[in-house]
Structure 1
Amino acid sequence: MIYLLNAFSLLLEIAFDLLATLFVLRLLAEAGRADFRNPVSQFVYRYTNPVLAPVRRVLPNWRRINLAALLVCYLVMLVKRLVLFALLGTMPHVAGLLVLALADLLDFVLVFYLVLVFGWSLLSMFQVSPYHPVMGLVEAIVDPLLRPLRGKLVVGMLDFSPAVVMIILLLARILIAAPLFDWGEHLARGF
């Protein structure tokens, strides 16, 4: 029975993470000023706008940050944690649940950026058209992270700025997200 529960929880996590990916893409594409004419951007906009339009009436953007998309991502992570705890038959303390959802969101965004930076750096080694829709969107999302280091870590013909950004993202997971998870677990148990 435990194996079936583990398989079901894995499928639930994948479903919630796919939903969160859509809203994180919307959040980061708007923050990076991705080209709206891009077909991938239009897909993301089309499927997130029915949820975000009513929330944006109450919670407008702050600078280039779509606070409505951020709130929806947080709520997706909160519901995911609540469902996973319900599968285990336990109910955590509310404060622990809120902190765990925040830790989930932070870790998710860090891993998302890590995958995008790695994929972008890998694709940049091949002759991929810069006009490809996916490449354009990834470039718009990754560029704000790479811009401060671009051109400063070049050795020969190699730019090591993506490697440094990936190391910083991994360190952020270890030094920020992991302690937040520990604190959330501690609060969820009620100690």
Structure 2
Amino acid sequence: MDVSSQIGLMVINTIAGLYLFIVVLRFLLQAARANFYNPISQFVVKATAPVLNPLRKIVPGFGGFDWASIVLAVVVQMLAIGLSLLVAGYGTPVEKIIIWSLLGTVGLFLKLYFWGILIMVISSWIAPQSSNPALELLHQIIEPVMKPIRKVMPDMGGLDLSPIIAFLLINICNVILANFVMKTGAPGFIIGL
């Protein structure tokens, strides 16, 4: 692959990756019933509204989840993969691009939770009572996943080991996902994998 192809892939992955992160965050904000008056939430809503509002007319929400956000994430992933393959000079059937997009979106959720939990653990050591809007929002997104784990865990006298269990579960999901990715022959530039 020549230099211009590498630069093209880097630009596509950076722009698509940032927008995918915002779209996945929009889904998680609504799923977790996070505070939409948070300044970061307001940014996420404004950044995704121009595309999501028309898409919601076609893909309605169901079960309290914003399925239009998931559809948008998969479509953005498909566009990023298609453009990346075009820049790299590869040709691939559309079915594989759809499968890779779904796998990449799942991987993006796993990465977001992994890094979110890690940030929450570190911030609890450094600034346990912080009222930073980003940390408050992250706590609201992460807590619905951590709460069921905490209910199952025995009381450890103030020591919270639930992040270790969450990391273990995320890594198990990553191993399963990596197995699927290997079977599909996905290229290495898919966002989230």
Q: Tell me which residue corresponds to 1:180.
A: 180
Question: Are the equivalent residues in 2 in contact too, given 1:97–1:184 (CA < 8 A)?
Answer: no
Match of 1:157, as an amino acid? G
Q: Tell me which residue corresponds to 1:140.
A: 140
Question: Are the equivalent residues in 2 in contact too, given 1:100–1:185 (CA < 8 A)?
Answer: no
Which stretch of the first structure deviates more once superposed, 2-11 or 157-166? Answer: 2-11
Question: Are the equivalent residues in 2 in contact too, given 1:99–1:181 (CA < 8 A)?
Answer: no
> Which SS does the other structure have where 2:98 is aligned?
helix
In structure 2, stretches of 5+ residues that fail to align are 187-193
Q: Deviations over 1:72-93 (max 9, x none)?
A: 0001111111111111212101
Distance 1:159-1:50 versus aligned 2 partners, 3 A rule: same
Q: Tell me which residue corresponds to 2:81.
A: 81
Deviation at 1:134, TM superposition (A): 0.9
Q: Deviations over 1:131-155 (max 9, x none)?
A: 3211121011101110012262553
Give the Cα–Cα distance (whole angstroms) in 2 for the partners of residues 7 and 58 of structure 1.
35
Q: Tell me which residue corresponds to 1:26.
A: 26
Deviation at 1:107, TM superposition (A): 0.8
Give the alignment of 1:64-143 within 5 angstroms.
Answer: 64-143=64-143
Question: Are the equivalent residues in 2 in contact too, given 1:99–1:183 (CA < 8 A)?
Answer: no
Match of 1:162, as an amino acid? P
Q: Tell me which residue corresponds to 2:165.
A: 164
Q: Tell me which residue corresponds to 1:17.
A: 17
In structure 1, stretches of 5+ residues that fail to align are 187-191
> Which SS does the other structure have where 2:148 is aligned?
coil
Give the Cα–Cα distance (whole angstroms) in 1 for the partners of residues 35 and 180 of structure 2.
34
Question: RMSD of the TM alignment (CA)?
Answer: 1.8
Which stretch of the first structure deviates more once superposed, 104-113 or 25-34? Answer: 104-113
Give the Cα–Cα distance (whole angstroms) in 1 for the partners of residues 71 and 51 of structure 2.
11
Q: Deviations over 1:103-142 (max 9, x none)?
A: 1111111111111111111111222445321112101110
Match of 1:166, as an amino acid? F
Question: Are the equivalent residues in 2 in contact too, given 1:153–1:160 (CA < 8 A)?
Answer: no
Which stretch of the first structure deviates more once superposed, 165-174 or 122-131? Answer: 122-131
State the aligned residue count: 185
Deviation beyond 6 Å, 4+ runs, structure 1: none
TM-score (norm 2): 0.88
Give the Cα–Cα distance (whole angstroms) in 1 for the partners of residues 67 and 133 of structure 2.
25
Q: Tell me which residue corresponds to 1:62.
A: 62
Give the Cα–Cα distance (whole angstroms) in 2 for the partners of residues 132 and 140 of structure 1.
12
Q: Tell me which residue corresponds to 1:189.
A: none
> Which SS does the other structure have where 1:147 is aligned?
helix
